Amino acid sequence: MRLVYLSPVPLASFAQRPHHFVRWFHERFDAQVTWIEPYPARLPRLADLRRLRRPAGPPLGPDWRGAPWIRTLRPRAPPFEPLAAGRWLNRRLWSGLLDGIDGIDGIDGIDGAGGTGEISDLGGFHAPDHAQTWIVAGKPCALAIELFRRHPRALKVFDVMDNVPAFASGRSRRWLERAEAELAERCDRLVVSATPLAQHFPGHAGKLLCVRNGMTPPARPPLSATEPEAASSQDEPGGDLPLGATVFGYLGAIAAWFDWDAVIALAQRFPQAVVRLIGPCEHRPAHLPPNVELLPGIPQDRVYDALADFTFGLIPFRIDPLTECVDPVKYYEYRAMGLPVLSTRFGEMRLRGARERVAFLDELGQLDLPALARDAADPAEVQAFREENTWARRFEPLSAWARTSAGR
């Protein structure tokens, strides 16, 4: 079994759904993996210049990114793909990469470009021709379309993780919508990570599968379920909190979708608590309350150590076309540690409530926070959550589908 995975995020970035899928695929099928790094599929913007000036942080990717079973390819691509001339140029720049992937697949591309079964110049590997090949596109782009087109015998999966066209505007947005529609047409299985994303593909119900996000279970036990007592609002300004140090914590990227107004209001309501934000930060207000901590991103293997210091997990996202299609991984990681979740009402989060140990930031005045923390930490409930929401459980339906498709 072989996997060619065109990723929307770099391999060295903080572990996200693409990393977890690739690791599951390797472990499930003892597969060799070719990871294709993302390249710009939209026209450049002024904000890109600010990101280029920002110093590069330490690599946050998984510790297996240098393993012998995975190889990384980096397409050359000037940022003009939405233009016909840009796509023409990129196809010529990709000729060696595409020929190498033809070799991985063990079959000829439909244009007659044959492969040797090996891509020594691209750091690849040899695999026998009888092995099955999957091509998974994690983002809409011209290279994904070309891979699907050249390999009709491969199992082709389009994994839609975000409303990607909403990240762009104008010509870039129109191109991404067109690319998304073509991949949906060409793929064998169309996977969406959140319920609202399915509404973008009304003509493909027969191949649609909703695979929500999940988590890697922590090795450490859940947080203590001892019953916290409420601190009197007369002694603690801002209302009742569990006794001891209270940390409202967020772990993840802080970008345009981050609701700073909600975070600032929380910090002001509970000035005796710490609001701890961990992750790469693209934008922050000029002035923050003194109890707000901003910390850099951390590698995946330290996530649960950081969460162990939280009392509540935060998911403060704005409500917009991007977040309306999101099922946040951090919800699963927070709950796997027995944390209650305080969220804004967006995407999949608005479908959750007290049963899922979720409360909303717009109802803080009505919440019994000590009871919320106590109930969320029930050991049996947390253990059941861990078992039911692993990445392996999430992706296993794709394994069953692959078995039924193997003989086609």
Domain edges within the chain: 2-214+390-405, 247-388
Class of domain 247-388: alpha beta
The pLDDT value recorded for residue 7 is 98
Residues 89, 77: Cα–Cα separation, whole Å: 8
* Residue among 28, 69, 29 at smallest CA distance from 391: 28
Question: Which stretch of DSSP H or E encloses residue 360?
Answer: strand 358-360
In the chain, which stretches have pLDDT less than 50? Answer: 107-130, 225-238
* Residue among 21, 345, 402 at smallest CA distance from 211: 21
The pLDDT value recorded for residue 104 is 63
Q: What is the CATH number of domain 2-214+390-405?
A: 3.40.50.2000
When computed from its CA atoms, the radius of gyration of the chain, rounded to whole angstroms, is 23
The pLDDT value recorded for residue 52 is 64
Structure token pair of residue 70: 């995975």
pTM of this structure: 0.85
Bridge partners (DSSP) listed for residue 215 = 390
The pLDDT value recorded for residue 239 is 52
Could you tell me which residues come within 8 angstroms of residue 202 by beta carbon, excluding any fewer than 6 positions away? Answer: none
The pLDDT value recorded for residue 50 is 66
In the three-class reduction of DSSP (H, G, I as helix; E, B as strand; rest coil), residue 221 is classed as coil
pLDDT digits (tens, 9 = 90+) for 204-220: 999 999 999 999 999 88
β-bridge pairing 247-251 and 312-315: parallel
The pLDDT value recorded for residue 42 is 94
The reply to whether domains 2-214+390-405 and 247-388 share a CATH topology is yes
Structure token pair of residue 403: 């078995």
